[in-house]
Structure 1
Amino acid sequence: MLHYAMPFASSFALLCESVRFLMKSHAFVRSNTPRALAEGVVPAFHKFLYFMFAPTLVYSDWYPRTDFLTGRSPNVRWRLVAYHLLEVVGCLFYISFLVQRYHLPVFRDFGLRPLTPLEGASAVLSTVLPSGMVMLCYFYLLLHAWHNAWAEMLRFGDRMFYLDWWNQGSFAAWYRTWNVLINDWLYAYVYKDVVLLGGSRLAAKAIVFFLSAAVHEFLMGFTLRLFYPVTYFFFGIIGFLMSFLNFGSTAVGNIGLWLSLFIGDGLLFSLYAMEYYARQNCEQIIDSSRDLFIPRSWSCVPIASKT
């Protein structure tokens, strides 16, 4: 990926697919090792192969199939598959439009001239709504359209990829319902194992948050070719602390949740964009090894040829 200087979208897709295969491999080994050691029984290869492509991260020898649950013909509904894949393409085009129309014009000249605090705040606020829309499109693209397309092609019956996270009144509930696939994997193979090994539930919860944040930071860092751990800070630290908040009223909590999601996404997009373009437009003022870990957007000196 780095050797061939792959573009952002290709890099992100490749990294996500690598993480997916790693999570599935761990799930397969973790689920079958106790049985293999005790009984010498291992699942057939076709079960492993089906699991690697099925829209789930928790391994099982048997999954519900659509023909078994509904009594319908086992034939794949290819029109439905095509419809979901068209939704994926439409979401990708809309995300591209939002980024090019509302994000790039604001940040691509970052570092070429001094930026006042008021201009910086205005830039961040102007991207709050587009960033929230990108988040919603990404959710629909991945957790609805993409996974339902694969579920239909494989006649996979369990299609509860998410719950009604948009109605939740706390961050703890949002984390459990936003992405059921990831939540189930973290609970089955991280949270439960930490508790079984003698760890407290609080320690298990903290490990789940920090591990998830580290993976998200890995994806963003290698996609953008920079180290700027704002995802880890927002998700692993701020998100972990906010998971203990209880607003009492579901309506108040839901409003607070939506505001936090949109503002948080706006901040993430803005901070990463500022750092990325600072590394394009600002001079390197320290040695290359330390420059990888020190944000250049904090002390930007414009490159002379671009001023």
Structure 2
Amino acid sequence: MSTTSAEPQLNGHNNENHDHILRPRAVKPGNPTVLRTLGEDGLLAVNGNKDASQSNGIMSGQTSGRSTPIPEDAPPSAHFISSARKQVRAEQRRRLFPTIEYASRVSHFDPNSDYRDFQGFYVLFWIALTIMAVTTMLRNIKDTGYPMRVKIWQLFTVKVWELAVADGLMVASTAVSLPMHRLFRSSTGNMMGLRWAGGGMALQSVYQAIWFAFWVNVPFHRNWTWTAQVFLTLHTIVLLMKMHSYSFYNGHLSETERRLRALDNPQTASKAPAYQYPTAGHTPDTPSAGDRAKSPEEKPDLSQLREDLAIELTSPMGSVTYPKNLTWANYIDYIFCPTLCYELEYPRTNGIVWSELGYKILAVFGVIFLLTITSEEFILPVMIESALRLETVDSFSETALILAEAISMLLFPFMVTFLLVFLVIFEYVLGAFAEITCFADRHFYSDWWNSTDWLEFSREWNIPVHNFFRRHVYSASRPHIGRPMATFITFFISAIGHEIVMACITKKIRGYGFLCQMSQLPIVMLQRTKWIKGKKVLNNVCFWCSMILGLSMMCSLYVLC
């Protein structure tokens, strides 16, 4: 039976261990988030036929298929929550808060992926890097008698225990969000004016700002090396996004629950339509409260409102309902999951594949080894020599010539460094944490190497961060300031983050990274004109040229100027 572009492909049918994995198709579908097709009479399985387990009256999945009976005299809110749990398991519904579509998927470079044709180039890439490492070590043995230089290696051991303690304390300090949210949801918090829609959101935002400022300044006060400082700064930014997503999503759910409970007494409760949080694609048209109030059929409207609110409180897979997620186990699991967007529930694998986990851990150390060799042998000497030469010249032309020479000599090393950083983060570190937590959605990046403009690159090279910005920055600001300004604000916040990282590396605030990031917007506007739009090869060449040149140029400017 032929498949359509909306149907997921189950590959690897010769391997029974991977029959359950949904993998990307060789050609991008029109909507890659569509995993199942909804028919008129219910949920259809991936092959287009109705789920056999449902037709036989048998429930599948990790639950028993039965739910606790609801007493007849229970309040309407309890009945609607029970109904919502059953309904969410049966069909996908539009949710009021923008959710991230998680599914069991493999990465592009995975041997079981439909993109496995890249494996040959992938292997060639590693062989080339191995040759580079071996020849470099042989040259060092000839020149110095030792296989490697030790300038950067020594930086890894300076105050390493202090870094570990500080990082542990930083992670632990994010857990304040859980008791704070419990306070916002409680009657005590309501009496204190600290419900989420009141003072709770402001208090949480103030705590996040103070928390971020404190931990960014810790490496400067402790006089750490740039390697330790970059690690802690990047981890600080990641945890800030995690903490923000956790607190704001649960805050939204607390207000949703409050409205649903209030509808148990419909005479005094608000009949305003449920607030539908805008998605990244479009802003749905929601009828106004006045239009709903004028409807002659009050009971169906009230039932629909209760149903919408109850569905919002239920996880996409129907196994967890707010506030059952407000536990320490759930929070710790979320901290370790390789995602920046909090959800009540994530798809999981059957268990840890220890061989895969061991491979990814070894790969992390192997890539760090190659990154160190590249920096030690091909980047640091160029920087030192160029800095010494700049001290002896006075004219602008000589300075520009030295900078141009340094930039040209760093083009290839920084291209290799960029690719290695991408691999160690998105393929190995995130993959290892996904294996540890049995996190099934390994779609951390897409084919960003085929990007034709910077917007496409920002969407596909770092999907966890893109999902966070789309959900918590772009979608949150677009209804108030419009699409162009929402895009500008998203890039502006991202540019500030990049500038903070560069300032930690070089201990200089120059703004080069900020300017380069913001300059992507006019470049995208130019690339989407009728004269350039559609010329994919040309735009991809321009993308790669600007990427390679930009990395080398920014580093040279930050270090030498």
Mapping for residues 129-168 of structure 1, pairs under 5 Å? 129-168=412-451
Shift of 1:112: 2.9
* Separation in structure 2 between the aligned mates of residue 153 and residue 107 of structure 1, nearest angstrom: 39
2:520 is matched with: 239
User: Does the 8 Å CA contact 1:81/1:153 hold for their aligned counterparts?
Assistant: yes
1:80 is matched with: 356
**Alpha carbons of 1:120 and 1:222: their partners in 2 closer, same or farther (altered >3 Å)?**
closer
User: Does the 8 Å CA contact 2:353/2:435 hold for their aligned counterparts?
Assistant: yes
1:209 is matched with: 491
User: Does the 8 Å CA contact 2:242/2:340 hold for their aligned counterparts?
Assistant: yes
1:272 maps to amino acid: Y
**Structure 2-normalised TM-score?**
0.46
Shift of 1:256: 1.2
Equivalent in 92, 95, 99 of residue 375 of structure 2: 99
The question of 1:113 aligning with 2:365 is answered no
Residues 58-111 of structure 1: per-residue CA shift (max 9 Å, x gap):
1100100012xxxxxx2x112211211111112111111112212211222414
1:29 is matched with: 247
Equivalent in 186, 194, 198 of residue 477 of structure 2: 194
The question of 1:9 aligning with 2:231 is answered no
* Separation in structure 2 between the aligned mates of residue 121 and residue 89 of structure 1, nearest angstrom: 33
Give the alignment's Cα RMSD to 1 decimal. Answer: 1.5
* Separation in structure 1 between the aligned mates of residue 509 and residue 402 of structure 2, nearest angstrom: 25
Identity rate of aligned residues, in percent? Answer: 26
**Structure 1-normalised TM-score?**
0.83
Shift of 1:223: 3.1
Moved over 6 A (4+): none
**Alpha carbons of 1:160 and 1:140: their partners in 2 closer, same or farther (altered >3 Å)?**
same
* Separation in structure 1 between the aligned mates of residue 462 and residue 441 of structure 2, nearest angstrom: 14
1:151 maps to amino acid: A
Residues 237-283 of structure 1: per-residue CA shift (max 9 Å, x gap):
21222232233211111111111110111111211221xxxxxxxxx
Flag the structure with higher helix content.
1
Shift of 1:29: 1.0
* Separation in structure 1 between the aligned mates of residue 225 and residue 454 of structure 2, nearest angstrom: 33
In structure 1, stretches of 5+ residues that fail to align are 68-73, 275-296, 298-307
* Separation in structure 2 between the aligned mates of residue 183 and residue 174 of structure 1, nearest angstrom: 10
User: Does the 8 Å CA contact 1:84/1:149 hold for their aligned counterparts?
Assistant: yes
The question of 1:225 aligning with 2:501 is answered no
In structure 2, stretches of 5+ residues that fail to align are 1-218, 259-321
2:542 is matched with: 256
Higher RCO (CA 8 Å, separation ≥ 6 residues): 1
User: Does the 8 Å CA contact 1:102/1:130 hold for their aligned counterparts?
Assistant: yes
* Separation in structure 2 between the aligned mates of residue 253 and residue 95 of structure 1, nearest angstrom: 29
Aligned length: 266
User: Does the 8 Å CA contact 1:88/1:141 hold for their aligned counterparts?
Assistant: yes
2:338 is matched with: 55
Q: Secondary structure at the match of 1:157?
A: coil
Residues 274-300 of structure 1: per-residue CA shift (max 9 Å, x gap):
1xxxxxxxxxxxxxxxxxxxxxx3xxx
**Alpha carbons of 1:116 and 1:218: their partners in 2 closer, same or farther (altered >3 Å)?**
closer
User: Does the 8 Å CA contact 1:131/1:269 hold for their aligned counterparts?
Assistant: no
Shift of 1:224: 2.4
* Separation in structure 2 between the aligned mates of residue 95 and residue 104 of structure 1, nearest angstrom: 12
Shift of 1:39: 1.9
